[in-house]
Each structure stands twice: as structure tokens, then as C-alpha cells.
Structure 1
């Protein structure tokens, strides 16, 4: 992040959070304020799956089928158990009598408990053993039901994976679009590491959460409904005993979530802060080493790492309490169901197979509740990350041209048409912070083909002036026109298509030298690229490279010198052939000989092109058509180099002090 030192501006040390929802100017909320509630964020996250609702409906349908098959399994297996028990008991009873006669005989002989047991059995035939054919058919049905459930579960998982990954892909695309639609002021205020954490870590965490929880939560909820239905059908009394655990589980889950959700929000906020610190440390590693600040950087890292550890530990510990507590409640419920079921069997009110099925249902009934509890920490973590992503998506975007202005107007150059490049400031006022004015009532005209140099002390407002032309910031008052058209009525695409800008800080991407130059005008021919390279003397150093224009530039151009990187960015701007050229200390990184060559190249390109040149080295702007001297956001002098020296004012003082310092050195 470049440090902004304009008077009234924002320094790199005065960082604030990414614009967030909440009270305050422009809808911003500081990082330490209360976050959004869990439920609205979760509902909004699920709502992003709406474009895939057809597939989501199939997922739900397959889940219902899978859960139905799984729920029927224990009941059907209980029927097979009843066949075995009926055969074992029936073979010991006298043959030739009915089940009712056998029960009456047992009662008559004083075996009332056995009579109750026999009376409650299904499929019992006195004198007949186990019907293996019937039992085999029952087991095959059970096997078929479980296989069908497994197939439906696989189809559910397959479709859900497609829904989740498509949703995350769309979310990433929306965040990428949002990043490019946000005003420059946002990036001045927010650490890049914090933004990167939201774009990468938080979105990845949301994807993992949806992938791991959606299927299990849906299946668990349907399983609870399916099992509860089967339990009520088999025995309402035993179902009531098992349901005692539900309100206890809900109360505990609510209490733990209330305490753990803020900890997860803090955890991911600390993660963003730590990422911002690491990104800065790596970007400025050379400076940190030279200034001997490694210990201080390590100390800050250790402090922030400890804060992240504490927040993560508290979040995981509090949410982790749910799992063992839910397991304890499930085990107690399991024991109670087994004891009550045994009494009901001896009373003849229920069969052994039904008790077996019910015990399985009891265990399965608590299992989804335990699963939901165990997923709460992951779910809360994912929703906390989603909240941070939504805060980014809700941030204020750049205001573009009005609908009337965006469709065209008299005297306007189109996106593909090069204008004359006349720029006029009319009573412009601007400030980064309302209570600290920077530019007040500034007026000037830069005519087509003129080179306008802007000089002045640090913080005078030089860079701010050209940033306003580019509409990186909006004016507080007045207006700026390009070829007589108010720039606020132009779309930013139209405006910036007329403008080329070269900054002191170079930016090159990983690709060939040819590709980096062509970035200024996609689709440019090789001849045009070579022409721009020769005009800016890039061809001079490219000829010495082994692969010439096909040489691959590494990340940030580390395999090129600072001057060579600057030449490439200038060639890129020249290839774009803009009507308006802005050079912000563009020659500060080149040697004296290269600087002279660049001056000649720029001189040849001044025809029909308005140029704004910001420079601290006054020797580079002697040939400018007009020199503006700025102090505290005001133009205090303007004229040619000779005129300003003769006037003996602010420019002459700057010129003398600069060359006096050189002589002293």
C-alpha cells in the first residue's frame, strides 16, 4: 500500500477496517463493533444457492429417500428378529394347537409371564421352528433397502457438491467484481492483507463449511423426523421417554452457540489482522532487514499470533463442549429406553424385535443430534467468515456517470475515439477528511498538446490533483472537464480510455515483456508494440536479453532493474496512445542518461497530447509549457521555467534549495 502523505490525507499508519455494514458515516463500521447476528448471515448464505434451487430440490428429494430407507431398515430387521424368536419359542410348544390355545394353556399352568410373552409374538406357530425361508426374504428386503439408501445418499452428495462449488464460484466472482468496483479510498484505509484474507481464507472457509455441513445437517434433520415417526409408530411410550433428551439438547446447544459465535467472529478478525501484518512484512522484507526492525516485526507477529491463538482456543473450546455433553445425554437416553423396553416385552405389550428396532432408533435418534452439535463449531466459523465476505460485498462502490451522461453527449469522445485532451479545473474543492480541507477553489486549464508540470513540497496536493482527474476520488465542489465535458457525466471506462498513467511504483505481472507492454492496449500488433518500445528506449535493454521480447518477467519484475521496470510501464502507457498522459515521478528510478532519452521520447510524443508531469527533480521539467507550483492545495505560482526563476518566488526557492543541496553533497 502506498503511503498517502498529502496534506489532510490518510497516512499508512491511520488504517481503518474495510467498509462494513452498521452505523456511522457512509455506512461504515469499525472492526471492533458488534457483528451481524448468526441467523441473518446464515440465511443470506443459504440464499446464495437460490440459482441452483432445481438441483437443491433434487438433493432434498434424494435425502428424503435415503433417510426413509435408513429409517425403515431397523424396523424390517426387527421383523426378521421376531421370526427367529418366534421359531425358537414355538418349537418348544405342543404342536397342533393355535397361538391362543398355547397362551391359554400357559396361563392355566401358572406361567402368566411366559403367556404374556407368547401372546405378544408375531408369526408364532406352536411346534414349528424357525422359518428360514421367511427370514431369508426378510433379510434380502433389508439388504435391498440399505443398498437403495446408499445409492440415494451418493446421488445426494454428488449433486450437493455441484451446488456448493457453483455457489462458491459465483461468490468468488462477485467478490472479484466488487474489488474492482470499490473506490480507491477503500484501499487507502484497509490493509491489503485484511482484504486478501477475506477474498481467500474466508471464502475457502465458507466453501468447506457448506461442503461439510449442508449434507450432514439436512440428513440429520430428516433423520430425526423419520426416526421419530417410526418410534411413535412402534411405541408412543418409549418415544416419549426418548424425546426427553430433545429439549435438554436444544437448551444446551443454544447456550453454547450464544457464547461461541462471538469468539469465531473474533478468530477470523484476528486472522485478517495477522495476514495483513505478514503481507506487509514480506513486501517490505528488504527494508525491515536494512532498518534492523526484524525483532520488532517478530514481536508484533508473536503478539498477534498469541491473540489469534487465544481467540481460536476459546472458540473451539466453548463449541467443543457440545459433543461430549450430547453424547452423555444420548447414552442416558439409551439406557432408559432399554430398561423400559425390557419391562414392556415381559408385559407382552411389545415384541423383542420391536425393542431391538427401538433401541437402534434411540441410538440413531441421538446420533443426528450429536452430529448437529459437533458441526456447530464449523458452522459458526463458516458463518462468521461469510459475514466478513458479505461486509465486503456490501461496501460502497464507486459512483459512476449518470444514466443521461453515460449514453453519450455532444462533443464527447467515445471509448475507442481519442479526444483532444483539454483539461479544465473549475473552482475545485476536495478533502480526504471533511474537517481537514486540502484543495480549495482551484481553477486551471491544460490545453491540448501542453505539458503541465506540477511541483511543490511533499503534501502540497500534487498527486491528489491528477487523482481527481482520473476520478479516483469524487470532488467536494466545482467540476473538472475533459474536452469540455464534465468528467462526472462520463463513465469511468470512457474517461480512463482517454488517459494514460505512469506511477513511481511500477507494476508488472508475470508474463513476457511483450505481454506487459501490450497490457496498455490489448490486441496491439507486434509492429505497434515494437514502435512503442523503440520510442521509450525499451528496445535498448531488451536486445541484450537472451529471449528478447519473449523474456518472462518474474513476479513484480524482480529479474529487471528498477529503471528497466519503469521503462516498461512508460512503453505500456505510450502504446495506449492516450489523449491525456499523467507521469507521477515516472523518471525517478532511471539513470541520468536514460532520463535524457526519455525526455526526448516524451518531447516527440507531446504533439496532440496533454501531459501532466509530477516531479521533485526540477531538472526534468525545464521544457514544460507551464509549471504549476502548489502549496497546501493551492496554486501559488504558474509559468515557464524561465519566467518562474525570474520571478524569484516559491519555484525559484525550490530550485535553488535543490541545487544547493546537490552542490553541498
Structure 2
């Protein structure tokens, strides 16, 4: 029997959608979905001896709603409805376009009958959708628009029956004059069904456009409800794994290997069961300082990532105009120029109509007559031309219209030639504004990108590799620039031309105009754009990966040559390039198919519409001038529609680049401005005079309660002018402590005070102004030596920089260089400095700030002993003579002999402190044991002597492993429960899709095997335990 429902809540599941985290909590009254034999899912209520019929009816209704939604969203039913819609549109379009108001009655009845039958199917589909989604249907614009379009189409169908053509009821009334010359009256017929049918076709076309996105929205709901059939993207899971903070490359490679073994494939989707099997293995390789719950928290948005919609045409346009929004004047002037340019085509069509109807003759009569004047009896041609200004009134009396054909001819010719002037001027103007706007937008994007990246926290650079960031600036911005040109030339100008062209066509010939606009709308929004977008995004990811591989190979070229790794690396790179080639072919092929599809379909459309116009001329509905004018307009308007295909191709090919940049840049600058503004309002921290004090400082990389803190209750005092060394085994928290002192991380508890003043209460900038840092790899930037030193304080003079160089003892070797302080360093460097020389230049950069606190992060670990000794001596002298507090994090214990204070850290806490002499003579000193181990490892390879400290550490490590197993088991259980809870776009759960986990209905889970598996793996690891290395000399 299933357990009795309780009143407790299942822990909230968090989902990430559109960049915003949303959470939901599932009450126990939500039921579980399980598969049935019908292929759908049903809700199985918990059996009870005294079941209340009302809840049972409610659960049955929920199950019915879910089944209905899955039915109407199924592939077969959806494409059946789409096929019916297209047949309905195409049939009515042909009936309207190839007939006139006089003979439409022959086909109107049949068309009405089929449309009535089709509308019944539409109504059933919409009734089931509304009943299933209820109020949720209003949350999506496409779904709401689809409902409105169906209502309007139904009203139009009713109008067709109300205004149905009937030859027995024809009523003709005399209306206004045919033309301004008032020679003939207009005669208006009450047979207007043809026009109502054209309106009906328009709303059917809207439904064809809106129905696919409406289905996409509703599919998410039953996809998340039927959690047992969830499909998770393997690519999304890999991306989430790489972004876990602190994850090593070896761990990532091992996890990906396990993922391939579990799923039996490298790409595609994985099931829920496969995901849980993989997580049981992946948790073994998580970072030691990351709890199981924290590890799984980074994977809980995998579904959101796999279901996240890639940028389409609409997103590209929206983003483009957002980037151009700071150029409002230029954008407004551009729109004016584009509108004038778009009016050229209707003006050309109008003047062609004038020439055809007024200048061209009505008839030309030519005959041969004998020439009686000439004696040779030759024939002479007689030609009589009747122009269209000669007509008859209602009394059959010949009248001459007040226009002169010759004058109309030259006026029309002058106008047709004259429109080329605004065409050329506007074309050049658009070129100017396009170049100006895009160059400014690109400059702003480049500046924003660098600014945002430079303000990112340390965690960001741990999650993103250098190749990915370089690809953003070098490749993605170039592709976005090309796409912006396509937006200007292939979207903005064509769209305005289409709107004005079709608007004139609707005014001139309503039926042809409505049909043309409806067809163009269907054409533009259909086709393989979605597939092409997906291929483009896949190519972008693979391109970034290959770029990172190439950059890494070049950066490690010394290692490659030393170990003769050229051949294996070339083989590996060739395999990556082959994958990239396939992805590029798919991207280019499907992008080209999009344009080919639009071009071919538009060619057919123009041919069909030309035939329709010819029929209307034959029936006398339009004149020859109207025909030539309409054909010209259709030809000119079809060109922008085809050009839109080019835009779709470029947009789809480069949308992934714009999406990556937008995800990083959009909104970030505003946040930076707000943070800087708030920091500027805080008081300035005075310069340190006494000491920097840490009081009960704690820090962890996650806010989870069960996460092990990296720093635990740290208390220390760094007096002014002291040289302090922080030592300890690897992973004990030394670098994290330094990050907190550098304000790279915000502490979770405790205080950091300078002369008794809490640094949190003062401006962060004022604290950083009196702090300097020297890192292990130095950090030389492109530029001269003088520039690199001046980066420490931009306002420094040349004399200040030289003084700092003297203090860092690098002035001597700098002056021996050919160009002295103007020697170029970095990627464009003209000389190669040794490691010690680079570190001294970096030290000079730190000293030019005139800091009160100098932080060293393994600054001498990469140097030889002699160079290291010289730099340590320099640091000790600086601390005493310049009254600078030097805090050095190091694993080279030899550098601590002259330190005023040594802090020994272990497991995130300070376990010992004192001078070198004090710590060496203290009984059972961890520092002394570390030093002794260092001496033993350098003097002899004999490892038979056991170190008591290591035994204690090993015992503590076994306890940690037991806690590790329990933590992993508990976290996996929570993750399984959280996986079942999925939210819609607004972070809300429809009552129809609520689920409740019931262990009895599911049966035993695989998690019961986890502790056995983990214990077995850890017992194997214990046999191979090689004792952690605490330091390196």
C-alpha cells in the first residue's frame, strides 16, 4: 500500500529560464504521472478504503485534460490540422484570385461548404486546447493570437453565408462617377462574397503562422508533467559539468567517458534513468570542497538549457535594435530615407499605369491603298490611331477627355526616369547611415564586452576558458557585424518596401493585395528556419571548442616540441576539424535551403498572381494599365521578400554569435553602473596605520547549509610593516584567504577590519587603492615596461615608475636593455625577460601604487632558488623600510625563514602561528613536521619512515569519505525529487500537471545501491592511497 499522504512539502525545485531563477514547491496532494498502455499518461490516485468521490472526479478530469493536450499536440494531429488549414487557404485563394465578382458565384458555394467542414475541425481543436490549458492559454502571445484569429475567421465565414452571392438577388445601384471627368457612373453590385472570402483567407493565413509556436508552448507543459519520459540533452549536460566551479580537466574527461558508456552514444538525448546512473558515477569526481547538493545544483537547469530556444529572426531583430537604440537620431533619419526609397516602386507602378491608359493608343488601324498620285501605281500605307481620350458618353456621343496622349506620354516618361533620382540619393544615404550606425554599435559592443568581462568575478573565469572568451571578441563580433549589415539591407529596407508595396496593392486591387500579403506572411514564417538555427548554434559551439584547442596547442608549443607530441596532437586536431567540417556543412546547407525555399516559392507566387491579373483583364475588371502596374509592383515587391530569405540565411548563420554576446553583455553594464554608483556613495577608507585584522572569518563557495566551509573561523592580525607568510597543505584554503583579502570573494561570516574599521562599511575602491597584488605568473600586458609599471597607478609620472623600479631592484637590468623602459613586452615584445625579471617588473607595478597592503600569491614558486632568495630579501626590506604589510601565500617553506609571522593553515583553519624559530621548536608542530618531511624528501628517497601527522590526516580522511558517501546518497535522493518538478515560462505550475512522488508506485530505486558502489570504489582508492602532498620545495 502506498504511504498515507502527509502535509509536508517536497523541497522546492529551482529552474533557470531566460536568465532568471525561479522556484516552486510541490505539495503532497499533487499526483504522480505514470505511463499507460494507451501511450499517454494517467494520474493514479492513492487507493483508500474510504475514497471521497469528489477528489477522484477531480483527478479523472485532470487526467482527461492532459490526454487531450497530448492528443492535439501530437505530430499526426498537428500536421493534419496544418494540412487542412493550408488546403482551406489555397482553395479559397484560387477561387478568389481566378474569378471576378460576376462569376465567383459559380465556386462560392463549394468553397463555403468545405470551409464550414474545416471550421468544425478547427473548433474541436481549439475547444480541446482551451479546456486543457484553461487560463494558461493567455500566457502565450501565439496561443492568444491563434484564438483571436479563429474567432475572426469564424465571423468571416458567417459573413460569407450572410453575403453569399445569388444571381436571383442581384441588385445593381448607381454610385459615384467612374473618373474625375464625370463621363460614366459607377455601378455597384451587392455580390460582395468574393471580398469577404479574401478576408477569411487572411485570418486563415494568420492561423497558419501562429499555430506552430502555440504548439511549442503547450508541449512544454505535458513534457514536464510526464517526467518519467523526460529527454535531457547530453550536450546541455556536458556544458553544465564544465561550468561547475573547481572542476578539473581530468574529472571532466572522466565524467564524459562515463557518460558515453552509460548512454552508449556521444550525442543526442538521454533518459531519466540514464541520467541517474551517470550522476551516481559523476558524484565521485566532484571537487572535494563541493557538497553533493551543491554539485547537483549546477545540473538542475539542464532541462531548461536543452529546451531553451535559440535565437530566431525575431530575437535577432529585437537585439539589433536594442544595440542601435543609443543612435535615435540616425535611426529616425534612416527610417525616413527608407520610407522614401520604398515609395519609389509604387510611384513607378502608378506612372506606368498613366502611360498605358492615357498615352498608349486604344487601337491602331493600318491598311494599304493604291497611290493615285504617283504614276507608278505603288501602294501606300494608311494608319489611323485612336487614342484613349476619345470615348463615348451615355448617349453614345463622341467625347474627348481633357488629356493629351502625347503630353501624358512625356509626363509619364519624365516621371519614370525621374524616380531614379530619389532612388539613387536614398541608396547612397542608406549606405552612409548603415556604415555610421553599425560602426558605432560595434564600437560600443566591443567596449561593453571588455568592460563586462573585466568586472566579472573570479568564478566566471573558472567556468569559461580563454578560447571561448577570445572567440567572443575575434569571431563572434565579426559575425555579428556582418549580420547587422544584413539586418539593414536585407530586413529593414525590404520590410518597409513590402509594407508600402502591399499597402498600395491592397488599395489599388484589394483582393490581389490581400492574397499576396497573406501568401508572403506564410512564406516568410515557414520553412526550415528552426532546423537551420539549431545547426548554426551547434557549429558555433564546435567552432569555439576547436579554437580553444588550437590556442592551447600554440600556448604549449614548448611542451609539444619537448615531448615530440606533434603527430598525436595533429591527429586529435584533425578529428576535431572533421567534426567541425560536418557542422559547418550542415549550417551552410540548411541556411542556403532557407533562401532557396523563399526564392522558388516567391517565383511561383508571382507567376500565379500574374495569371490571376490576366484573367481579371480578360473579364474587364481591370484595365491594361492596371495589369502592367500590378505586375510591376508584384515583381518589385517579390524582390524584397526574396531578399528576406538572404536575411534569414545570414541571421540564422550568425544568430548564435549574437546570442552568446547578449547573454554576457545585455543588462550587465547597468548592473556595473549601479554597483559603482553605490560604492562611490560609501565613505573612503583611511590609509592603514596600524594593522589589518581578520576576526572569525568564514567562507564557502555555496550557500547550502551542508556545504563544507573553505575558511572556518579565521582570526589573524597583520601589523603594518610586517612580512607574513601563509603556508599549509594543498587545498587548505590559502588562496581562498588571499582572494577574500583582495575582495575577490565576499566572506560569509566574520569581519575584516583595517585599523578597527570594517572594510564592508567603506568604499571597495578605496580599499583596493591601497592594496597591491603580485601573482604567480606575473601578468605582463602588451606595451612597454614603463606602461606595465604605470598600470599600477595610471596617474603615476615617469619618475614615480622609475622610483618603484628601483625599490623592486629591476632598474639595473632595465637600463641595460636597448630601449630601456620603452622596451616592448607582451605578445608584441622585442625581448624575452627571465622569470625573475618579470616578477620584479610586476613587483614594481605593485609598489608604484604605494600600497599599505602587498599580497603575494605564490609569487616566487616558479623561480629558481637564487632568484627567489633575492626577491624574498627585497620583500623583507620593503616591509620594514616602506612600512608595507606583506602577506605572502606560498608552499616554498624556505621563503618563510625571515618572516615576522607564519600562519599555518589546515582544513580551512589556522592551526599554528609564530616565527620560523618558534614553530620549529614547538612540540608536535605541524609546520615542523612539514619542514622535516621536506628535508627527508630532498635528502633521501626512503619512505619507510612514517610521519605521525600523515597517519592522523589519513584517519581524518577516512571519516571524511564516510561523510562523503552519506552526503552523496542524500543529495541524489533530493535531486531525483527535484527532477520531477518542472515549471513553465512564468515559473508557475498548472494544477493539471502537479505531481507527487510516491515510492510505492515507483518501486525500489537504484539509489539503494549507491552506498555499496561508493564504498567499493573508496575501498579501492584506499589501497592506492599515496598520501597527500602538503608542500613542494
TM-score, length basis structure 2: 0.55
Secondary structure in structure 1 of the residue aligned to 2:813: helix
- How do 1:309-458 and structure 2 match up within 5 A? 309-393=581-665, 403=678, 406-408=681-683, 412-413=685-686, 418-420=687-689, 422-433=691-702, 435-458=707-730
Q: Aligned match of 1:650 in 926, 946, 949?
A: 926
State the distance in 2 between where 1:431 and 1:85 align. 88
| Number of the residue aligned with 2:832 | 559
Cα pair 2:904 2:910 within 8 Å, conserved: yes
Cα pair 1:52 1:163 within 8 Å, conserved: yes
State the distance in 2 between where 1:404 and 1:228 align. 55
5+ residue gaps, structure 1, are 1-7, 17-22, 106-117
Alpha-carbon shift at residue 167 of structure 1 (Å): 2.5
Q: Aligned match of 1:639 in 914, 918, 922?
A: 914
| Number of the residue aligned with 1:459 | 731
Cα pair 2:527 2:597 within 8 Å, conserved: no
State the distance in 1 between where 2:502 and 2:719 align. 82
State the distance in 2 between where 1:376 and 1:52 align. 25
State the distance in 1 between where 2:848 and 2:839 align. 14
Of stretches 259-268 and 625-634 in structure 1, the one that deviates more from structure 2 is: 259-268
List per-residue Cα deviations over 1:208-233 (Å, max 9, x = no partner). Answer: 21222223312212222232234345
- Does 2:497 match 1:223? yes
Of stretches 290-299 and 212-221 in structure 1, the one that deviates more from structure 2 is: 290-299
Alpha-carbon shift at residue 293 of structure 1 (Å): 4.3
- How do 1:109-188 and structure 2 match up within 5 A? 131=406, 134-188=408-462
Q: Aligned match of 1:614 in 889, 893, 899?
A: 889
Alpha-carbon shift at residue 387 of structure 1 (Å): 2.0
User: Cα distance 1:575–1:349, how it changes in 2: closer, same or farther (>3 A)?
Assistant: closer
Of stretches 490-499 and 351-360 in structure 1, the one that deviates more from structure 2 is: 351-360
Alpha-carbon shift at residue 97 of structure 1 (Å): 12
List per-residue Cα deviations over 1:161-186 (Å, max 9, x = no partner). Answer: 32233223222222222112211111
| Number of the residue aligned with 1:203 | 477
Secondary structure in structure 1 of the residue aligned to 2:343: helix
- Does 2:845 match 1:572? yes
Alpha-carbon shift at residue 40 of structure 1 (Å): 5.0
List per-residue Cα deviations over 1:561-596 (Å, max 9, x = no partner). Answer: 222111111122122221011122323344444444
Cα pair 1:56 1:160 within 8 Å, conserved: no
Cα pair 1:99 1:124 within 8 Å, conserved: no
Cα pair 1:406 1:490 within 8 Å, conserved: no
| Number of the residue aligned with 2:763 | 491
Cα pair 1:35 1:265 within 8 Å, conserved: no
- How do 1:62-141 and structure 2 match up within 5 A? 62-82=337-357, 85-86=360-361, 89=364, 92-93=383-384, 99-100=390-391, 131=406, 134-141=408-415
Secondary structure in structure 2 of the residue aligned to 1:616: coil
State the distance in 2 between where 1:421 and 1:188 align. 35
Secondary structure in structure 1 of the residue aligned to 2:879: coil
5+ residue gaps, structure 2, are 1-244, 254-295, 367-382, 942-1033
| Number of the residue aligned with 1:113 | none
State the distance in 1 between where 2:484 and 2:828 align. 36
List per-residue Cα deviations over 1:365-421 (Å, max 9, x = no partner). Answer: 222221112211212344432221121136887896995995216xx31xxxx4226
State the distance in 1 between where 2:598 and 2:628 align. 22
- Does 2:659 match 1:659? no
Alpha-carbon shift at residue 196 of structure 1 (Å): 2.4
Alpha-carbon shift at residue 548 of structure 1 (Å): 2.0
TM-score, length basis structure 1: 0.84
Q: Aligned match of 1:543 in 815, 820, 836?
A: 815
Cα pair 1:461 1:632 within 8 Å, conserved: yes
Alpha-carbon shift at residue 123 of structure 1 (Å): 9.4
Secondary structure in structure 2 of the residue aligned to 1:321: helix
State the distance in 1 between where 2:246 and 2:531 align. 40
Secondary structure in structure 1 of the residue aligned to 2:695: strand
User: Cα distance 1:27–1:451, how it changes in 2: closer, same or farther (>3 A)?
Assistant: farther
List per-residue Cα deviations over 1:419-474 (Å, max 9, x = no partner). Answer: 22622221122233553432211211111111111122222222221111011112
- Does 2:318 match 1:46? no
Of stretches 352-361 and 564-573 in structure 1, the one that deviates more from structure 2 is: 352-361
State the distance in 2 between where 1:650 and 1:74 align. 93
State the distance in 2 between where 1:492 and 1:94 align. 92
State the distance in 1 between where 2:864 and 2:521 align. 77
Of stretches 521-530 and 66-75 in structure 1, the one that deviates more from structure 2 is: 521-530
Of stretches 74-83 and 144-153 in structure 1, the one that deviates more from structure 2 is: 74-83
List per-residue Cα deviations over 1:249-299 (Å, max 9, x = no partner). Answer: 14xx33422333233233323333333333322222223443454455445
Of stretches 70-79 and 450-459 in structure 1, the one that deviates more from structure 2 is: 70-79
Alpha-carbon shift at residue 314 of structure 1 (Å): 2.9
Of stretches 181-190 and 325-334 in structure 1, the one that deviates more from structure 2 is: 325-334
Of stretches 542-551 and 305-314 in structure 1, the one that deviates more from structure 2 is: 305-314
Cα pair 1:327 1:370 within 8 Å, conserved: yes
State the distance in 2 between where 1:187 and 1:606 align. 32
List per-residue Cα deviations over 1:31-82 (Å, max 9, x = no partner). Answer: 7562466445642442332222232122111111111122211331343345
State the distance in 2 between where 1:297 and 1:70 align. 59
Cα pair 1:241 1:336 within 8 Å, conserved: no
Cα pair 1:87 1:124 within 8 Å, conserved: no
User: Cα distance 1:243–1:211, how it changes in 2: closer, same or farther (>3 A)?
Assistant: closer
